[in-house]
Amino acid sequence: MKLTRKMVLSRAKASELHSVRKLNCWGSRLTDISICREMPSLEVITLSVNSVSSLEPMSGCRHLSELYLRRNRISSLAELFYLKDLPHLRVLWLAENPCCGPSPHLYRMTVLRNLPRLQKLDNQAVTEEELTRALMEGDEITAAPSKGGAGNGRSPPSYTLCSVGSSTATSQGLLSYTEEEAEIQGQLSLKTPAVDGSPSFSQRDALRSHKDRDRDVTS
C-alpha cells in the first residue's frame, strides 16, 4: 500500500504536506513511503509493523529527530546511507528487520558507527563507550545500496531473521508493541491511528497479525 497525501493530511491533521511535523502510520500495511520526500518539516514518524524496504525517501527530511521502523522489510544496513546526513536524528528503532542479521553486536556497532549522533537505538540508550567501540567494530557504509552490493565496498552479508518459536515470537512482538506505543505516546503525544475506514490497531489485532505471520513462516 502506498502512503498517500490524503492519508498523511488526515492522520497529521494538517492542510499541507510541507507543514507536517509528526506522523503515526503504525501497522498500516505500507510498502511505499515516497511521499515523505514532500515533507521537509517532518520531525517524528512511526512506520513500525509495515512492509517498507527502502529509506531513500527519508533522506530529505532534514528536521527528522525520531524514526520508528521496527518490523519492516529493510534488508540491508546499507539503507542507513540515506540517514547519515540527517543532523537531528536522535532516536531510531530498527529492530526486527532482516538487516539486523544474526549478530546483534555487529548490527548495533554498524548502526552507531554510521549514525553517531543517535542517543537511543531500539529503545536502548547509546553510551559513549559504545560509540567509541563502534568506530573499531562497526562496518562503515560509504555508498547507497544497490542491487549488486551492500553499499560498503564489500560483498553483501547474508542477513536473515532469526527463527523463533511461535509463542516466543508472539510474546516478544506484543512486548515490543507495548514498549513502542508507550515510547511514542509518552514522548510524542501520538495515538495509534486507524487504517482509513478501519478501527484502531489493538493488541488483539497485533496478536492476530503475529499469529498469521508465524503460520506463514511454518507452512
Reduced to 3 states (helix: H, G, I; strand: E, B; else coil), residue 48 is coil
Strand order in the sheet with 91-93: 22-24, 44-46, 66-68, 91-93, 120-121, 124-125
Helices (H), the chain: 5-12, 104-114, 128-137, 166-188, 203-218
Reading the chain (219 residues) residue by residue, the pLDDT tens digits are: 999 999 999 999 999 999 999 999 999 999 999 999 999 999 999 999 999 999 999 999 999 999 999 999 999 999 999 999 999 999 999 999 999 999 999 999 999 999 999 999 999 999 999 999 999 999 999 999 986 444 443 434 433 333 223 333 334 445 555 566 666 665 555 554 444 443 344 444 444 444 454 554 444
Domain boundaries, the chain: 5-163
Which of 182, 158, 178, 159 minimizes the C-alpha distance to 170? Answer: 178
What CATH number does the domain located at 5-163 have?
Answer: 3.80.10.10
Kindly report the length of the chain: 219
d(CA 185, CA 178): 10
Indicate the burial class of 195 (C-beta count within 10 angstroms; 0-12, 13-18, 19 or more).
middle
